[in-house]
A and B are shown apart, each in its own frame.
Chain A
Amino acid sequence: MLNLSSTLSGHVRFLLQSLNEANADSVRRELSQFLGFGIEGSIVVLQTCLDYLNLDKAEADLKNSQVEAVIASTFRYALEKPNSCTVLCQSLGSADISEDFLENFSKVLHLSVSEKIGIGLALCESENLEARTCGKKFCVAQIEELNASPDSVDSYERIQNIILFLQCSEDLSKHVDSFMQMLSLVQVKDVAQFVLTPILSDELRETNFLRDMDLFHESAGNDFDAILAEMEKEMSVVDIMRELGYGCTVDVSHCKEILSLCLPLTEMTIARILGMIACTHSGLEENSNIFSSFSMALGCNTSSDLPLLSSWNIDVLIRTIKQLAPATDWVRVVENLDHEGFYIPNEAAFSLFMSAYRYACQEPFPLHAICGSLWNNTEGQLSFLKYAVLSPPEVFTFVHSGRQLVYIDAVHGHKLQLEDANLAWLCLDLLEVLCKLAESGHARAVKLMLEYPLKHCPEVLLLGMAHVNTSYNLLQHDVTSIVLPMIIKNSVGAGMILYLWQVNQNLLLRGLVELLKSEQDNITRIVEICLELKILSTVLEMIPFPSSIRLAIIASRKELVDLEKWLNDNLYMYKDIFFEECLKFLKGIQSGRSQDFSAKLFHHSSAVFFKVLKDQTGLISSTQLIEEMEKLQATIMDSNPKLQNGGTTESSSSDGYGDDIEAEANSYFHQMFSGQLTIDAMVQMLARFKESSVKREQLIFECMIANLFEEYRFFPKYPDRQLKIAAVLFGSVIKHQLVTHLTLGIALRGVLDALRKPADSKVCIII
């Protein structure tokens, strides 16, 4: 963090030094602006000013009156601030405070008596005992001076402070009277200032009192009525109903009495009433007594025994409202639900609310009011939506929503179970408003709401979400990362991917990038789908380099992409940047950061990389990158003898496994890890290969065993499931005597290694 104080004080000093007539005003403004930075800034500014002043005086040359004027106004400004006490104490704290100093100081700055008192009072609060005594003395001296030659005091706050200061100690209280007298001389007309009333002397007050009394009664008419009008405006029939309880709706005549307390009944009021009754549909304290005594006190004839209600009587309420306000526009009522305090606590409240609405109005519920835009009362909106989406269609339905997800080809053949539901998740407005709610702090609650669709119709949800763009896309990404893997695996997923591609490429790509970081079979599947949709090259272009490099490698395995050409093209286009990314990728492989078997796959591509990179060094401007590349190549060659000779792709890997053999071996592993091939089958197959007369099968066997052992060092990084599989395989291989001699030794050493490690390390699972 930058050291504020030194920077600021340097700047202030600079400002003061460069001060001249032309910029005096702007400097003054800037300094006062610094004082707004809180006490930290203020103290630094004042201290610097003070130092500068002292310095200036010491040098005794260039008596710059401008500087003094600016500094004086800065101090004055600080003095007016409500935190002047702390700021002054702390900034004067370092100086040697004496009365002389203060006297001098205020003379230089041409402070008025009142301002001097202000400084004195501030010092009285200092933590430094000396400064405090000094401040006190200074203060008393100034007050005496003020009493001797009356002068106005510039703020009532200061008057108050002075009086309180004088009254707080015995020996000073003698000054109080003369100060009061002084006040009465100076500003008789204003002394009646409201906040000063309790501390003024009785004499001063008495005259004021009578005057105020006159004023009060002169202005009483309109003033009083103003307050009354205000009170009537503030009277809230909703809160009154809440307080009086269910009794309010006992019958129409009583209900009318209550509601007529504040006519006219606007849509806003009705919305509030509906919100309130939904909220309090049960559990209100039983107080029919209170209600009856209330209506009695209002002078209504009440039969003393009103029936006890256990909830609101909606029938009575709506009838009364219709009688009192027959022209009510119920759509506007719903639009007014966005008010402070609206909240639907539970399902019962929701259905009560909806039944009230249906009772009042036959129109379909105005969806735009609840999911057209974000409310001010987001919590209330969320509470409403929460129950709305779960309601059966006879209570609430989104079927008449204007913006619905149109799913034609995309989800054909994939029947969505929406027939009996309220079509909430097809409503794009709803999804949009949910996304916005999630970003305004309700992420957790909204995610809870999404659990149901995620379980029952995840694809629909994702397709819908694709239509929504918000500033952070928080919810959309979450949904994508959950649903996209499902779609990818789905046999009919391609159609949906195409739909997403058309609607929201960004969202899809982001999801794909995330997927590319995970398992390899996903990548393979992605490549297949992209191929099917003919978007592979576009996708490769659009996703970030680390992902696109991986994708390109996999695609090249399937001979869908010419890796070398692709690398060349990109290097040509992006030069250093791409070069760097390639290096990063290679480093990642080398350090074994790629989590699964695809690492193996990538290993074999590194040769292509180095070849291309070496060929294209001419394009690269940074020698550093080239050096790095060379260093990297050297280390990788060391660790992987396969690549040692020649560094060409073609010359088969040192152990003599051909690319095709390697690929087949890997494919078996993939089948095993993805569960398509059981371990038993695997072991049997291995046994068969070992004894096989076909040379190729023997080679495959050798390759697989070698790979297995080579993978040993990556075991700690395996996910649990894969690790278990690998462990069982490892054990089975030994058990079935598939390995002998030298290789058995390697295998057993691996097991021993694992045993030596702490018990909780993952590798132990092997045993």
Chain B
Amino acid sequence: MDSRDSSLLTTSSPDGPSCDDGGVLSVSAALAKDASLYFQSRKYAECVEVLNQLKQKKEDDPKVIHNIAIAEYFRDGCSDPKRLLNVLNNVKKRSEELACVAGEQVESVGPVGNKGILSSKGGGNLAHQFSVNSRSIIYMDEYDSSFATLNIAVIWFHLHEYAKALSVLEPLYQNIEPIDETTALHACLLLLDVVLACNDASKSADVLNYLERAFGVGSVSQGDNGSLVMQQSINLIAKSASIPCSSLVTDVSNSDFAVNASENPLSDDPLDEMFSILDIGGQNLSRIAGIASANEAPRTIVSRSISNVDLKLKLQFCKVRFLLLTRNLKQAKREVKHAINVGNGRDSAMALFLKAQLEYDRGNHRKAIKLLMASSNQTEAGIASMFNNNLGCIYYQLRKYHTSAVFFSKALNNCSSLQKDKPLHLLTFSQDKSLLMIYNCGLQYLACGKPILAACCFQKASLVFHKRPLFWLRLAECCLMALERGLIKASQALSDRAEVRVNVIGKGKWRQLVIEDVISNRLVDFVGKVDLVFGSDGQPNLSLPLARQCLYNAWHLLNCSELNNLKSGLPASLEENESSEVVSWKTSNQKNLPSIDSKASTLLVGLGQVNSNGNAREQKGGSNQGIIQNSISYYEEICRKGNQMIKQALLADLAYVELELGNPLKALSAATSLLGIPDCSRIYVFLGHVYAAEALCSLNKPKEAAVHLSIYLSGDSNAELPFGQEDFEQWRVENTVDCEELNEESVTAKNPPEDWHNLMFLKPEEARGTLYANLAAMSAMLGEFERAYHFVTQALSLVPNSPEATVTAIYVDLMLGKSQEALAKLKQCSRIRFLPCSLQLNKSS
């Protein structure tokens, strides 16, 4: 901890070397030293004051401005990251300009200067000397914008804007060689955290490799340069404190329900976490610290050997995280053990958490719970929230959704108290995983069948998740589920539609039955503007048009993420064109699957959120290249399959939504795209055919619709099972392959007998019944009543309670003149409700 303070000291020092004349130098140096002392002792107001004095002497020096900004930021309780970002961006720009100017000046001396800089990396002493000797070089060094860049990245990182952080860090990493070791190490470690947070396996591997090579732990040349080691050690300790807190962030976000295994006891003092900014803000001059206060040296030297181990440990942890990300569990297990050996008792909490996550991934949820309990003390709010969230994840995986709700709400409660207790600062942002937890809550509510609350949660979480296709798919599912349960305003519940209402009109022999045409009442009647997603009452305004927009978003993101952006897609699928004329048909029976779809797509709930990732980069050489490479390709396969599954669900949902909105043209194109997906699950193929058939019927092309439906006909009148039980199995297997150990089933096979998948989806036999009902309706439309009668009889034997099938049967009976049979069917079906007359009829009828 002391060593960290020493690095703080450096904050003030930059000015020193940059001044020519000795007097000013000494004054500045003194001021700088004061400032750094104040900073160390967390007297930020005083520090700012001193720095301001310094600023008067050194107008325009970007470093002073930089340091002032940081000190002020801390003084104000880290309340305004936006302002800090602004200042830092300005500083960066300014530094670059200056460096550019300076660079031109030095151009003649270029090679020498470069060498100087390179060697300056070696240690603070050297740099100092150089800075005294050669002004221009110092300017180069001085105006190195990498510190500002790094700090910008840190702030983005803490705001959970990983993509942004990545975009800031990438250029730095691409050009890492000239940057001094410490900054480079920090940049690399941060980058590693960022890419892990982005679930970017190949980049993680890349950075990991580079780190191992360049900062070679173990036998690599650290002995060469004592000061290097010293530097490293200083920063390493700083880092070892900071990294855990950042890894904390990463892991939570890493997937829907990945256990964020990284709560770290080291970070239980919130101030330590501030350090993740501070160390970077301050580190730019840490190398001079060595000189400025020579008495620091012994201490740092003392900590050297330890910190070397720490770096190693840190890298080892990152490696485990990488392996966990790529689901290379065997290897991960080995590496965790290794890490525990390396750590030799240090940082055992981290190791335990990683182990917990490992067990979680392997499906040993009980063991994971035990490890979690062992590894943390839950007294501190931040940790407790993490802990509760993790338990929530575990119970979710055990399908104890309501129990998981208890933990999630506890976790959020902890977060909320965290927010209220302290003044708002960056720390709160970074420690505040509430958004991620809220997303988890959303998923859990979706699983519990509470779409409105789920949508509320998702909406909150959108700040962090809006770039993920799955997020939008989930939101669309909320809409569909709300539709199914009749929660959408001004529309009719599907459950109502699942009932045939028969009005009893008149008495005695004048009694008549009137069947309301409920089923065909589509939901077209939305008023056009649906922009306001969240109404004034704060309740989400779930609607079908919103579902459509969400699905488009998901589709768009999915396509963007596919590097090889094949031109498959909605527009492409329209290539087959048929001329059409417009009369739509009246029977509603095609709409036999209103509820399947949302159900179908919720299948995905259990699937971990898989981030797609196309850009594999060439690997730099490394020791365990093979393993890493394998992991990556395996992971890419997982991602690809995951995307495929998302795509299937998405297109099926889209086709359904468009049908519901009365937009058969688009529904048809979505269904066609769905059918065009290679290796599409037979379940979705079935949905694709049925939706396409309905769309075609709406476009008045029953003949073409017949083509879709008769695919399942063997012979003239017998329908095959559209999909079998084994397709569920297959789906399940795929599911487990996809997020392999994320799912319980693969490891422990003690599921309740009726698998939940089956509960959510039509059973194969029911699907066949539905198919028969559709065929019957279609034959009836084409006037083939005998055939329709045959089909509908089959349908009723398979799905006796389907109102659609019943209504079709009654229609067919009436058309064939069998009114008594129709009546008998009405009495038999359990979805029929006899109502007293509610219609006002005039005398004539």
In the complex, which of the residues A43, A81, A93, A202 has the most CB atoms of chain B within 10 Å of its own CB atom? A81
Looking at the assembled complex, report how far the CB atom of A10 sits from the nearest CB atom of chain B, in whole angstroms.
15
Q: A36-B524, A198-B557, A471-B836 are known contacts. Are A212 and B463 too (CB-CB below 8 A)?
A: yes
Give the contact stretch, choosing among A124-132, A354-362, A704-712, A754-762: A124-132
CA distance A216 to B161 in the complex (A): 15
Within 8 Å CB of B176, what residues of A?
Answer: none
Q: State whether the Cβ of A442 lies closer than 8 Å to any Cβ in chain B.
A: yes
Q: State whether the Cβ of A541 lies closer than 8 Å to any Cβ in chain B.
A: no
Q: Evaluate contact between B580 and A93: CB separation under 8 angstroms.
A: yes
Chain A 229-271 per-residue mask, 1 if CB under 8 angstroms from chain B, else 0: 0111011100110111000000000000000010000000000
Q: State whether the Cβ of A199 lies closer than 8 Å to any Cβ in chain B.
A: yes
Q: State whether the Cβ of B624 lies closer than 8 Å to any Cβ in chain A.
A: no
Q: State whether the Cβ of B499 lies closer than 8 Å to any Cβ in chain A.
A: yes
Q: Evaluate contact between B569 and A441: CB separation under 8 angstroms.
A: no
Q: Evaluate contact between B529 and A80: CB separation under 8 angstroms.
A: yes
Q: State whether the Cβ of A156 lies closer than 8 Å to any Cβ in chain B.
A: yes
Residue of A nearest to B378 (CB): A299
Q: State whether the Cβ of B621 lies closer than 8 Å to any Cβ in chain A.
A: no
Residue of A nearest to B549 (CB): A195
CA distance A132 to B570 in the complex (A): 14
Q: State whether the Cβ of B843 lies closer than 8 Å to any Cβ in chain A.
A: no
Give the contact stretch, choosing among B56-64, B663-671, B686-694: B663-671
Q: A240-B403, A443-B827, A472-B834 are known contacts. Are A155 and B583 too (CB-CB below 8 A)?
A: no
Q: Evaluate contact between B366 and A441: CB separation under 8 angstroms.
A: no
Q: Which of A478-514 contact B (CB under 8 A)?
A: 506
Q: State whether the Cβ of B467 lies closer than 8 Å to any Cβ in chain A.
A: yes
Q: Which of B454-498 contact A (CB under 8 A)?
A: 456-457, 459-460, 462-463, 466-467, 472
In-complex Cβ contact of A243 among B373, B400, B579 (8 A) = B400
Residue of B nearest to A136 (CB): B571
Q: State whether the Cβ of A39 lies closer than 8 Å to any Cβ in chain B.
A: yes
In-complex Cβ contact of B499 among A160, A213, A439, A441 (8 A) = A441
Q: State whether the Cβ of B159 lies closer than 8 Å to any Cβ in chain A.
A: yes
Q: Which of A10-47 contact B (CB under 8 A)?
A: 36, 38-40, 43-44, 47
Within 8 Å CB of B533, what residues of A?
Answer: 193-195
Contact residues on A (Cβ < 8 Å of other chain), bracket: 35 or more
Within 8 Å CB of B412, what residues of A?
Answer: 224, 227-228, 231
Looking at the assembled complex, report how far the CB atom of B536 sits from the nearest CB atom of chain A, in whole angstroms.
14
Within 8 Å CB of A589, what residues of B?
Answer: none
Q: State whether the Cβ of B450 lies closer than 8 Å to any Cβ in chain A.
A: yes
Q: State whether the Cβ of A83 lies closer than 8 Å to any Cβ in chain B.
A: yes
Q: Evaluate contact between A440 and B584: CB separation under 8 angstroms.
A: no
In-complex Cβ contact of A244 among B400, B553, B584 (8 A) = B400
Q: State whether the Cβ of A74 lies closer than 8 Å to any Cβ in chain B.
A: no
Looking at the assembled complex, report how far the CB atom of B665 sits from the nearest CB atom of chain A, in whole angstroms.
4
Q: A83-B524, A197-B466, A244-B403 are known contacts. Are A232 and B662 too (CB-CB below 8 A)?
A: no
Within 8 Å CB of B472, what residues of A?
Answer: 198
Q: Which of A199-213 contact B (CB under 8 A)?
A: 199, 202, 206, 209-210, 212-213
Chain B 647-689 per-residue mask, 1 if CB under 8 angstroms from chain A, else 0: 0000000000000011111100100000000000000000000
In-complex Cβ contact of B556 among A43, A199, A214, A299 (8 A) = A199
Q: A82-B662, A213-B159 are known contacts. Are A444 and B549 too (CB-CB below 8 A)?
A: no
Contact residues on B (Cβ < 8 Å of other chain), bracket: 35 or more
Q: Evaluate contact between B504 and A235: CB separation under 8 angstroms.
A: no
Within 8 Å CB of A198, what residues of B?
Answer: 466-467, 472, 553, 556-557
CA distance A361 to B504 in the complex (A): 43
Within 8 Å CB of B662, what residues of A?
Answer: 38-39, 82-83, 86-87
Residue of B nearest to A506 (CB): B508
Q: State whether the Cβ of B574 lies closer than 8 Å to any Cβ in chain A.
A: yes
CA distance A720 to B684 in the complex (A): 54
Chain B 433-458 per-residue mask, 1 if CB under 8 angstroms from chain A, else 0: 01000100100010010100100110
Give the contact stretch, choosing among A161-169, A615-623, A739-747: A161-169
Looking at the assembled complex, report how far the CB atom of A468 sits from the nearest CB atom of chain B, in whole angstroms.
14
Q: State whether the Cβ of B831 lies closer than 8 Å to any Cβ in chain A.
A: yes
Q: State whether the Cβ of B640 lies closer than 8 Å to any Cβ in chain A.
A: no
Looking at the assembled complex, report how far the CB atom of A300 sits from the nearest CB atom of chain B, in whole angstroms.
13
Looking at the assembled complex, report how far the CB atom of B384 sits from the nearest CB atom of chain A, in whole angstroms.
10
Residue of A nearest to B803 (CB): A441
Give the contact stretch, choosing among B23-31, B307-315, B352-360, B416-424: B416-424
Give the contact stretch, choosing among B272-280, B325-333, B538-546, B606-614: B538-546
CA distance A1 to B378 in the complex (A): 72
Q: Evaluate contact between B403 and A5: CB separation under 8 angstroms.
A: no
Q: State whether the Cβ of A574 lies closer than 8 Å to any Cβ in chain B.
A: no
Within 8 Å CB of A217, what residues of B?
Answer: 419, 424
Q: State whether the Cβ of A586 lies closer than 8 Å to any Cβ in chain B.
A: no
Q: A125-B665, A231-B453, A240-B406 are known contacts. Are A195 and B546 too (CB-CB below 8 A)?
A: yes
Q: Evaluate contact between A243 and B580: CB separation under 8 angstroms.
A: no
Looking at the assembled complex, report how far the CB atom of A436 sits from the nearest CB atom of chain B, in whole angstroms.
9
Q: Evaluate contact between A224 and B434: CB separation under 8 angstroms.
A: yes
Q: Evaluate contact between A228 and B416: CB separation under 8 angstroms.
A: yes
In the complex, which of the residues B406, B580, B669 has the most CB atoms of chain A within 10 Å of its own CB atom? B406
In-complex Cβ contact of A297 among B391, B402, B552, B698 (8 A) = B391
Residue of B nearest to A211 (CB): B82
Q: Evaluate contact between B583 and A228: CB separation under 8 angstroms.
A: no
Within 8 Å CB of A91, what residues of B?
Answer: 582
CA distance A497 to B520 in the complex (A): 47
Q: Evaluate contact between B366 and A293: CB separation under 8 angstroms.
A: yes
Q: State whether the Cβ of A220 lies closer than 8 Å to any Cβ in chain B.
A: yes
Within 8 Å CB of A471, what residues of B?
Answer: 504, 834-837
Within 8 Å CB of A81, what residues of B?
Answer: 524, 526, 528
Q: A230-B456, A231-B405, A232-B409 are known contacts. Are A157 and B530 too (CB-CB below 8 A)?
A: yes
In-complex Cβ contact of B405 among A43, A193, A209, A235 (8 A) = A235
Looking at the assembled complex, report how far the CB atom of A230 sits from the nearest CB atom of chain B, in whole angstroms.
6
CA distance A82 to B546 in the complex (A): 10
Q: State whether the Cβ of A531 lies closer than 8 Å to any Cβ in chain B.
A: no
Q: State whether the Cβ of A474 lies closer than 8 Å to any Cβ in chain B.
A: yes
Q: A239-B402, A544-B509 are known contacts. Are A128 and B579 too (CB-CB below 8 A)?
A: yes
In-complex Cβ contact of A36 among B401, B525, B545 (8 A) = B525
CA distance A298 to B407 in the complex (A): 9
Within 8 Å CB of A223, what residues of B?
Answer: 460
Residue of B nearest to A225 (CB): B416
Q: State whether the Cβ of A285 lies closer than 8 Å to any Cβ in chain B.
A: yes
Q: State whether the Cβ of B271 lies closer than 8 Å to any Cβ in chain A.
A: no
Q: Which of A58-107 contact B (CB under 8 A)?
A: 77, 79-83, 85-87, 89-91, 93-94
Q: A80-B527, A85-B663, A160-B549 are known contacts. Are A290 and B373 too (CB-CB below 8 A)?
A: no
CA distance A114 to B833 in the complex (A): 48
Q: Evaluate contact between B663 and A86: CB separation under 8 angstroms.
A: yes
Chain B 535-579 per-residue mask, 1 if CB under 8 angstroms from chain A, else 0: 000100000111011101100110000000000011100100111
Q: A82-B524, A234-B450 are known contacts. Are A167 and B407 too (CB-CB below 8 A)?
A: no
Looking at the assembled complex, report how far the CB atom of A9 sits from the nearest CB atom of chain B, in whole angstroms.
12
Looking at the assembled complex, report how far the CB atom of A29 sits from the nearest CB atom of chain B, in whole angstroms.
14
Q: State whether the Cβ of A445 lies closer than 8 Å to any Cβ in chain B.
A: yes
Q: Which of B571-610 contact A (CB under 8 A)?
A: 571, 574, 577-584, 586
Closest 3 CB pairs of A and B: A80-B528, A239-B402, A471-B836
Jot down 8 A-B pairs with beta carbons below 8 A, ordered by A: A38-B524, A39-B582, A86-B664, A128-B577, A156-B549, A195-B553, A213-B429, A221-B420
Apart from A38-B662, A132-B574, A155-B530, 12 more pairs, CB < 8 Å? A36-B524, A39-B698, A82-B544, A89-B665, A155-B528, A194-B459, A194-B462, A221-B420, A232-B409, A239-B402, A441-B829, A442-B830
Give chain A's interface residues, CB within 8 Å of chain B: 1, 5, 36, 38-40, 43-44, 47, 77, 79-83, 85-87, 89-91, 93-94, 124-129, 132, 155-157, 160-161, 164, 167-169, 193-195, 197-199, 202, 206, 209-210, 212-214, 216-217, 220-221, 223-228, 230-232, 234-236, 239-240, 242-244, 261, 285, 289-290, 293-294, 296-299, 439-445, 470-472, 474, 506, 544
